[in-house]
């Protein structure tokens, strides 16, 4: 009885202290240093030209754009005073002209004000053909962008004219206007991405390619770079001139350990504060009494699947593709091959993104009977009548295990023979890109959280990332309507129909939605993660992180 | 001697030319190019990238450009580390790789030669057996296994040494040891067998019969002659160590050129591949030349005139 009373008493004291002193634990004290690891030396850290997550992780600390993403991946105004809408005259009625009012308090780390001209310079630079920026094509809806980007064969005068004709201008010091060729409902999301972060013309002109080395790497974000030891580490420190709420961390170090086992060891030796674990060790880590509680796992906006080349027999047969979809036990896959990490996928768009629909692909939940029904519909009484299937994959990591799992499942559940064909990584990518494959492992991660980035680009007839050769006039028409539909509810409804078509036609074998599985030291507080983090968990909001000493 | 060296240098240039051409051809024949990414780039982007790096030109024009730049001391640009020249990447990584390689080499010599000599001098003793057992074990353990074991013992369990990185003495210990074991084992075995052979030579027996001190015989007659095969092996071994090990550099996060080169191949970074191959070719051929000259110094019977 006494024990019970004491327990209740102490519980009340703890609850009361939490209510009365809620901010106690959030006041950072002691050294505020966070060390994390990025996948390797970034190719470059020039916002206009960057494309990989490693590069993004660095850029997101040092720069920020007009708009940004909140933790729930909705948009928020950052360098702009508000998100442009039709109501606040930020977007014209036809959806083709965007006007951004800049926050006049925003400064560069050297104290200079960020102006509309910085954005004008940045966007025109994005389309500069000599820069060959990889993400430029995302912005070809901006008037004149594509023409200038493709002008490398023209003379300097013609190029200058094309550059001047790009539909972006500074109306005044703090007002930016962008004109689009077509209405683009997802344009605001694109404006929250790194390729259109502002950059400084004076610095780039003065230092050329070395402008991304400290101390010239001047940004407008919460951190600034003081050191870049190539292939070793990058040191960022709190930007003392940051216009908004300053970073809680004093130092943020980005190590470049490339070996998964070495990174795991470095974490255990307290050299890094956040780290992934080597593939295959997930279950051991979960069971570990010390490491287990340090696990952070959350859904990412990434779907993995096997794509069928629907022009290569027998994958031309829709019902065979559906049979394969129903023949795979994805729960077993995740449990045995993926260390229990990830969620089974029965459709394309992952949870956490607009357009995810748990009711799609119900026919693909594992059932050997269902698979057999589809096989019969495909015109085969027994799997042994189906010609040998050839499955290609890049021979890296756990891909061989993945391929063997599929081989075994298809044999056991459908009695179809699968030949697995490992390939060197770049050779595999080229084979897929050139559609010289029959059945291949692949994944897609969000560039921005919208079906616009997930459906037309991958399943539209002839689209750049459509390597299944899938072609549906109905799908194309739905996507074309959605692309310019300014009413968001209607737009998402159109994409929902489009996705339903893809799921029914099964140009891919949906496998799983990836989950991030990392270890975080218990003294790292305030980590805010999203499904679109770059190389490091929580790297979109490192300014909020503090260390509890 | 001078004529011989000049002749060899001329050959070196021809060898490098042939090596460059073969590499250049293979690189373009191998499936997969630098712009083949899992997210397919827009055709306009690929076109712009090809233009930027001169890949829109015909094959021989590209090779011509490469040679022209080499003549001007420019190894070209990297495609994966886009703002840096291959020369700057090699110059930045080489000192680290070379330091590690030389330390590992010295370690290998310091371990290998004494063990090999001791084993031969006390043939069929416990020392001999231990030496053979250890050299067999170390010759068979792959570097990455040994490296991981070292990391688990000294970093994860004992917390004595950092897991990797570059800049302090503590960071060099484990990778240097992991890198040195294999050559040390080889050197020990070669030293042992060549010492045994030399010990049975007539001139050694004659020296012993003449009553010359055992120590003098050992240093002047046995060691000097027994080391010729070791030097033969040491040259390429040093070239190998100095050019870097992808596995060790990757495991211990050493910003050297070994890791960079292998990553360059995976990424089809034509610029980095060509620059590195030329550099490696130069190092290997150069060190072989040095070894050949050293023969003459060690063995008076070898003359190049």
Pairing relation of β-strands A295-308 and A439-445?
antiparallel
pLDDT reported for residue A310: 96
Alpha helices (runs of H) in A116-255, residue ranges in sequence order: 116-126, 145-149, 156-164, 187-190, 201-207
* Per-residue tokens: A25: 């634990």
Q: Looking at residues A210-225, what average pLDDT do you find?
A: 95
Q: pLDDT tens track of chain B, all 305 residues?
A: 788 888 888 988 899 999 999 999 998 888 888 888 888 888 888 898 898 888 899 999 999 988 888 888 888 888 888 888 888 898 899 899 989 999 999 999 999 988 888 898 888 888 889 888 888 888 898 888 999 999 999 999 999 999 999 989 999 999 999 999 989 998 898 999 998 988 888 888 888 898 888 888 888 888 888 888 888 788 778 877 877 788 899 999 999 988 888 888 888 888 888 988 888 888 888 888 887 887 777 777 766 65
pLDDT reported for residue A294: 97
pLDDT reported for residue B223: 83
pLDDT reported for residue B212: 86
Rounded distance between C-alpha atoms, residue A300 and residue A286, angstroms: 19
Give me the residues of B, 218-247, that contact A with CB < 8 A: none
Residue given tokens 């049975």 in the structure block: B200
pLDDT reported for residue A323: 96
Query: Tens digit of pLDDT for each residue in B160-194?
Result: 999 999 989 999 999 999 999 989 998 898 999 99
Asked if B255 lies within 8 A of A229 by C-beta distance, the reply is yes
| Pick among B45, B142, B161, B174 to test the A interface (most A CBs inside 10 A) | B45
Percentage of chain A with pLDDT > 70? 95
DSSP state of A350: P
Residue given tokens 């739905």 in the structure block: A478
Consecutive H or E run containing A303? strand A295-308
Closest CA to A66 of A216, A194, A204: A194
Q: What is the predicted ipTM?
A: 0.85
Asked if B152 lies within 8 A of A265 by C-beta distance, the reply is yes
Q: In degrees, to the nearest 5, what angle opens at C-alpha B89 toward C-alphas A212 and A208?
A: 30
* Per-residue tokens: A272: 């890094």
* Per-residue tokens: B252: 């211990």
What Rg, from alpha-carbon coordinates, does chain A have? 26
Closest CA to B84 of A212, A136, A61: A212
Chain B: nearest CA to A21, how far in angstroms? 38
What Rg, from alpha-carbon coordinates, does chain B have? 24
Rounded distance between C-alpha atoms, residue A234 and residue A254, angstroms: 5
Closest CA to B100 of B15, B215, B180, B186: B180
Query: Tens digit of pLDDT for each residue in A428-481?
Result: 999 999 899 999 999 999 999 999 999 999 999 999 899 999 999 999 999 999
A23 has a pLDDT exceeding 50:
no
Average pLDDT, chain B: 87
Q: Which residues of A touch B153 (CB under 8 A)?
A: none
Give me the residues of B, 80-99, that contact A with CB < 8 A: 80-84, 89, 92-93
Chain A: nearest CA to B215, how far in angstroms? 47
Closest CA to A59 of A172, A202, A217, A173: A217
A16 has a pLDDT exceeding 60:
no
DSSP state of B77: B
Rounded distance between C-alpha atoms, residue A457 and residue A218, angstroms: 34
Query: Tens digit of pLDDT for each residue in A407-426?
Result: 999 999 999 999 999 999 88
Q: In degrees, to the nearest 5, what angle opens at C-alpha A118 toward C-alphas A188 and A226?
A: 100
DSSP state of A131: G
Instruction: Name the residue among B40, B82, B93 with its Cβ closest to that of A464.
Output: B40
Rounded distance between C-alpha atoms, residue A110 and residue A243, angstroms: 11
Chain B: nearest CA to A10, how far in angstroms? 38
Query: Tens digit of pLDDT for each residue in A282-313?
Result: 999 999 999 999 999 999 999 999 999 999 99
Asked whether B32 and B268 are in contact (CB, 8 A), the reply is yes
pLDDT reported for residue A3: 52
| Pick among A132, A211, A301 to test the B interface (most B CBs inside 10 A) | A132
Instruction: Name the residue among B36, B159, B255 with its Cβ closest to that of A232.
Output: B255
**B252 CB-near residues (< 8 Å, 6+ apart):** A262, B147, B151, B163, B164, B165, B171, B174, B175, B178
* Per-residue tokens: A425: 């990584």
| Pick among A262, A264, A442 to test the B interface (most B CBs inside 10 A) | A262
Please give the residue of chain B at the shortest CA–CA distance from A151: B48
A259 has a pLDDT exceeding 50:
yes
Residues of chain A by 3-state class (helix, strand, coil), percent to 5: 35, 20, 45
Asked whether A373 and A319 are in contact (CB, 8 A), the reply is no
Asked if B45 lies within 8 A of A136 by C-beta distance, the reply is yes
B137-155 exposure pattern, b = at least 16 Cβ within 10 A, e = fewer: ebeebebbebbbebbeebb
How far from each other are the two terminal CA atoms of chain B, in whole angstroms?
A: 6
Asked if A262 lies within 8 A of B251 by C-beta distance, the reply is yes
Pairing relation of β-strands A251-255 and A33-37?
parallel
Asked whether A469 and A435 are in contact (CB, 8 A), the reply is yes
Query: Tens digit of pLDDT for each residue in A67-121?
Result: 999 999 999 999 999 999 999 999 999 999 999 999 999 999 999 999 999 999 9
Rounded distance between C-alpha atoms, residue A180 and residue A491, angstroms: 19
Q: Looking at residues A200-210, what average pLDDT do you find?
A: 95
Q: Which residues of B touch A230 (CB under 8 A)?
A: 81, 84, 89, 92, 255
**A404 CB-near residues (< 8 Å, 6+ apart):** A420
Rounded distance between C-alpha atoms, residue A262 and residue A200, angstroms: 38
Task: Count Cβ–Cβ pairs < 8 Å, chain A vs chain B.
Answer: 144
Residue given tokens 């190049």 in the structure block: B304
Asked if A232 lies within 8 A of B165 by C-beta distance, the reply is yes
Q: What is the dihedral of CA A262, A263, A267, A270, to 10 degrees?
A: 70
Average pLDDT, chain A: 92
Alpha helices (runs of H) in A341-434, residue ranges in sequence order: 368-377, 399-414, 425-433
pLDDT reported for residue A537: 95
Asked if A232 lies within 8 A of B45 by C-beta distance, the reply is no
Please give the residue of chain B at the shortest CA–CA distance from A40: B253
CB-neighbour burial class of residue A427 (10 A; exposed 0-12, middle 13-18, buried 19+): middle
pLDDT reported for residue A5: 53
Q: Which residues of A touch B142 (CB under 8 A)?
A: none
Query: Tens digit of pLDDT for each residue in B251-287?
Result: 999 999 888 888 888 888 888 889 888 888 888 888 8
Residue given tokens 């969000």 in the structure block: A446
Rounded distance between C-alpha atoms, residue B234 and residue A8, angstroms: 75
Identify the weakest region by mean pLDDT among A22-31, A194-203, A389-398, B238-247: A22-31
Task: Give residue A34's pLDDT band: very low, low, confident or very high (50, 70, 90).
Answer: very high
Rounded distance between C-alpha atoms, residue A505 and residue A478, angstroms: 15
Please give the residue of chain A at the shortest CA–CA distance from B44: A150
Rounded distance between C-alpha atoms, residue B122 and residue B120, angstroms: 5
Strand order in the sheet with A33-37: A33-37, A251-255, A233-238, A223-229
Strand partners, B85: B77
**B220 CB-near residues (< 8 Å, 6+ apart):** none
Q: What is the DSSP string of A136-160?
A: GGGGTTBTTHHHHHT-TTS-HHHHH
Query: pTM of the entire structure?
Result: 0.88
Closest CA to B244 of B93, B142, B139, B138: B93
Closest CA to B267 of A430, A391, A533: A430
Asked whether A538 and A276 are in contact (CB, 8 A), the reply is no
- Cα dihedral sign, A116-A122-A127-A133: negative
Please give the residue of chain A at the shortest CA–CA distance from B163: A266
């Amino acid at each position: 009885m006494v024990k019970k009373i004491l327990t209740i008493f102490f519980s009340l004291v703890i609850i009361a202290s939490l209510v009365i002193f809620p901010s106690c634990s959030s006041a950072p004290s002691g050294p505020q240093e966070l060390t994390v690891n990025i996948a390797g030396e970034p190719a470059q850290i020039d916002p206009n030209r960057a494309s990989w997550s490693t590069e993004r992780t660095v850029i997101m600390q040092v720069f920020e754009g007009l708009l940004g993403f909140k933790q729930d991946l909705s948009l928020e105004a950052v360098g702009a005073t508000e998100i442009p809408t039709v109501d606040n005259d930020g977007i014209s009625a036809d959806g083709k002209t965007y006007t951004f009012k800049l926050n006049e308090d925003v400064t560069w780390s050297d104290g200079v004000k960020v102006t509309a001209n910085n954005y004008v310079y940045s966007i025109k630079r994005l389309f500069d053909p000599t820069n060959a920026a990889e993400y430029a094509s995302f912005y070809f809806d901006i008037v004149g962008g594509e023409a200038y980007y493709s002008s490398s064969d023209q003379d300097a005068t013609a190029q200058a004219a094309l550059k001047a004709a790009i539909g972006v201008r500074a109306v005044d010091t703090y007002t930016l206007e962008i004109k689009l060729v077509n209405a683009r409902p997802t344009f605001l999301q694109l404006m929250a991405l790194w390729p259109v972060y502002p950059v400084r013309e004076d610095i780039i002109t003065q230092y050329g390619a070395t402008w991304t080395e400290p101390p010239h790497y001047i940004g407008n974000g919460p951190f600034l770079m003081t050191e870049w030891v190539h292939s070793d580490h990058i040191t960022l420190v709190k930007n003392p001139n940051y216009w908004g709420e300053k970073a809680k961390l004093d130092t943020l170090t980005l190590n470049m350990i490339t070996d998964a086992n070495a990174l795991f060891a470095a974490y255990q030796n307290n050299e890094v504060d956040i780290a992934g674990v080597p593939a295959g060790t997930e279950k051991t880590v979960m069971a570990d009494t010390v490491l287990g509680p340090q696990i952070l796992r959350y859904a990412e906006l990434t779907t993995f699947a096997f794509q069928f080349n629907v022009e290569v027999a027998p994958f031309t047969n829709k019902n065979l593709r559906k049979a394969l979809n129903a023949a795979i036990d994805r729960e077993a896959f995740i449990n045995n091959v993926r260390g229990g990490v990830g969620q089974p996928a029965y459709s394309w768009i992952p949870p956490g993104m607009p357009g995810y629909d748990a009711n799609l692909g119900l026919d693909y939940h594992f059932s050997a009977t269902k698979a057999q029904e589809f096989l019969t519909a495909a015109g085969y009484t027994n799997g042994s009548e189906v010609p040998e299937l050839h499955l290609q994959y890049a021979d890296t990591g756990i891909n061989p295990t993945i391929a063997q799992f599929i081989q075994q499942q298809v044999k056991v559940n459908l009695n179809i023979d699968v030949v697995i064909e490992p390939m060197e990584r770049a050779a595999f990518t080229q084979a897929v890109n050139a559609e010289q494959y029959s059945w291949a492992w692949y994944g897609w991660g969000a560039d921005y959280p919208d079906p616009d980035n997930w459906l037309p680009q991958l399943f539209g007839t002839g689209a750049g990332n459509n390597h299944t050769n899938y072609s549906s006039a109905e799908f194309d028409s739905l996507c074309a309507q959605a692309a310019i539909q300014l009413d968001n509810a209607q737009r998402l409804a159109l994409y929902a129909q489009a996705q339903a078509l893809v799921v029914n036609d099964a140009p891919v074998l949906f496998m799983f939605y990836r989950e991030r599985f990392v270890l975080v030291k218990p003294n790292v507080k305030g980590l805010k993660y999203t499904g679109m983090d770059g190389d490091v968990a929580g790297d979109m909001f490192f300014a909020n992180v503090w260390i509890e000493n | 001697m001078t004529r011989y060296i000049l002749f060899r240098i001329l050959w070196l240039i021809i060898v490098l030319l042939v090596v460059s051409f073969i590499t250049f051809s293979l690189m373009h024949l191998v499936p997969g190019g630098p712009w083949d990414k899992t997210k397919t780039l827009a055709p306009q982007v690929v076109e712009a990238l090809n233009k930027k790096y001169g890949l829109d030109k015909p094959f021989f024009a590209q090779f011509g450009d490469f040679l022209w730049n080499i003549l001007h001391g420019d190894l070209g640009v990297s495609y994966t580390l886009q703002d840096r020249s291959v020369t700057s990447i090699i110059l930045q990584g080489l000192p680290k790789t070379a330091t590690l390689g030389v330390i590992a080499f010295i370690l290998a010599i310091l371990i290998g030669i004494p063990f090999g000599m001791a084993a031969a001098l006390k043939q069929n003793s416990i020392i001999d057996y231990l030496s053979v057992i250890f050299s067999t074990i170390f010759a068979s353990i792959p570097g990455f296994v040994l490296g991981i074991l070292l990391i688990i013992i000294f970093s994860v369990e004992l917390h004595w040494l950092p897991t990797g990185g570059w800049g302090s003495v503590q960071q060099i210990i484990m990778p240097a040891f992991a890198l040195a074991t294999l050559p040390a084992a080889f050197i020990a075995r070669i030293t042992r067998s060549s010492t045994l052979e030399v010990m049975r030579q007539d001139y050694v027996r004659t020296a012993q019969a003449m009553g010359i001190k055992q120590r003098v015989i050992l240093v002047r007659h046995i060691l000097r002659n027994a080391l010729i095969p070791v030097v033969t092996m040491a040259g390429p071994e040093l070239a190998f160590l100095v050019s870097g090990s992808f596995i060790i550099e990757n495991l211990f996060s050493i910003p050297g050129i070994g890791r960079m080169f292998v990553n360059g191949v995976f990424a089809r970074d034509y610029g980095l591949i060509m620059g590195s191959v030329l550099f490696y070719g130069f190092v290997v051929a150069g060190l072989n030349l040095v070894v050949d000259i050293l023969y003459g110094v060690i063995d008076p019977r070898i003359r190049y005139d």
